[in-house]
Amino acid sequence: MNTELKDIQDREERAIKKAKTVKELAEVELSLFGRKQGLLTTVLKSLKDKPEHERRTFGAQANTLKTRLTQQIEERRAIVGGLEEGSEPFDLSEPLLPIPATGSLHPVTQISEELEECFSAMGFRVLDGPELENDFYNFEALNHPADHPARDMQDTFYIKDAPALLMRTHTSPMQVRALRQYGAPLAAIVPGRCFRNEATDARHEHTFHQLEGFLVDADVSFAHLKGVLEAVAHQLFGEMVRMRLRPKYYPFVEPGVSGEVTCMLCEGKGCRVCKQTGFLEVFGAGLIHPNVLRAADINARRWSGFAFGFGLTRLAMLKYGITDVRLFHSGDSDFLKQF
Ligand code: FA5
């Protein structure tokens, strides 16, 4: 390489490496390629004065150098480009700043875990069941034959081209599935997601969580059911909470009740959420209908049982003072950060 070009290469490569900011780099670039006084511009302009035999080699070398230096400037600009003027280049060995606090469990998961612990201590096993159910387990086996008007109380989402499949409307199908699998005696709870075709409001969502519980044994009575539910209500909300049971029709229990606890949002005074009653319905319950035991291949003369279904989402509303159920699935991080 021509010595003049070699000198420019060595000196300018050092200048490019030394540049710590975009501004310094722009100065090097200008000194090299500036239109009027740029070093390489002047060299290339001087080509025409060179003798014919030198012009070709010198021109080729000068152009190669121009490409090489332009490329190095671009590479250096990518490195220093993101940095503030005057700041040091990125130091990979620098220790990390403290990482902001990680997330927390969703309030429904928290209440579900609390209940799982409470029921496990009473000897219930914890089971899981399918969210995509079939008509038999969701309705038929639970004493809702086809065309039974009680099906209208739980409309849901059906699967196109598979009319027997539906999104489960409650966790009760697991009563039959579990009894078929494990037989009697059995005590189990099943927390899980349920779906209903609802006109949503402050208390109703199309997707919500329930926690099913059932116990099948010899001579199970309504008193056992009441005792277990009261123990759970006190564990969750304290000894002061009042629970009331009112008759309610469910085809799969006989007798059936709706269970309500003091509305914590208004402390029993009456509000929008409890519809001014001072109580909020949080579960359905009753003694398991013999037809359900038979559908689960259990001898209904020998065994009896109780079952209940808690609205987990409603419990979380009560416990944490949440006034609108639609917040749970809103994805609002300000809401979630509070738990
Ligand atoms: C049932 O779903 C019955 N499977 C419960 C049951 C189990 C009764 C075992 C008897 C024996 P119900 O439709 O009432 O019942 O719902 C139970 C609870 O789920 C309600 O008390 C309520 O807290 C909650 N729930 C029901 N629908 C919704 C909804 N759309 N949004 C939020 N929570 C709901």
* DSSP states of 275-310: TTSSEEEEEEEEEEPHHHHHHTT--TTT-EEEEEEE
Ligand 1 centroid distance, CA of 99 (Å):
41
Q: What's the whole-number average pLDDT of the chain? A: 90
Q: Which atom of ligand 1 lies at the shortest distance from residue 154's CA?
A: 13
Residue type, 302: R
| Tokens at 75, concatenated | 């590479």
Phi, psi (degrees; rounded to nearest 5) at 104: -135, 175
Does 116 or 1 have the greater pLDDT score? 116
The beta-carbon contacts of 156-160 under 8 Å, at least 24 apart in sequence, are 156/195, 156/196, 156/197, 157/195, 157/197, 159/132
Task: State the residue for tokens 């150098």.
Answer: 65
Is the Cβ atom of 251 under 6 angstroms away from ligand 1?
no
Q: Are strands 158-159 and 162-167 parallel, antiparallel or unpaired?
A: antiparallel
Give 214 or 164, the one with higher predicted confidence. 214
Residue-wise pLDDT tens digits, 203-221: 899 999 999 999 999 999 9
Of 147-151, 169-173, 309-313, which has the strongest mean pLDDT?
Answer: 169-173
Choose one of 111, 133, 153, 170 to mutate for the ligand 1 pocket test, by most ligand atoms within 8 angstroms of C-beta: 170
Most informative mutation of 144, 195, 208 for ligand 1 (most atoms within 8 A of CB): 208
Structure confidence at residue 84 as a pLDDT band (50, 70, 90): low
* Between 97 and 213, the higher pLDDT residue: 213
Other C-beta atoms lying within 10 Å of the C-beta of residue 194? 26
Q: Residue 91 class from Cβ within 10 Å (0-12 exposed, 13-18 middle, 19+ buried)?
A: exposed
Pocket of ligand 1 contains residue 254 by CB under 6 Å: no
pLDDT of residue 57: 86
pLDDT at 281 over 60: yes
Q: Which residues pair with 308 in a beta bridge?
A: 213, 285
Measured N-to-C along each axis, helices 52-81 and 3-18 cross at an angle, to the nearest 10 degrees, of: 10
DSSP, collapsed to helix, strand or coil, labels residue 335 as helix
Higher pLDDT, 240 or 120: 120
Residue 303: per-residue pLDDT? 98
Name residue 222's amino acid: F
Structure tokens at 213: 């519980």
Paired with 192 in beta bridges are 210
Pocket test for ligand 1, best of 250, 291, 312 (most atoms within 8 A of CB): 250
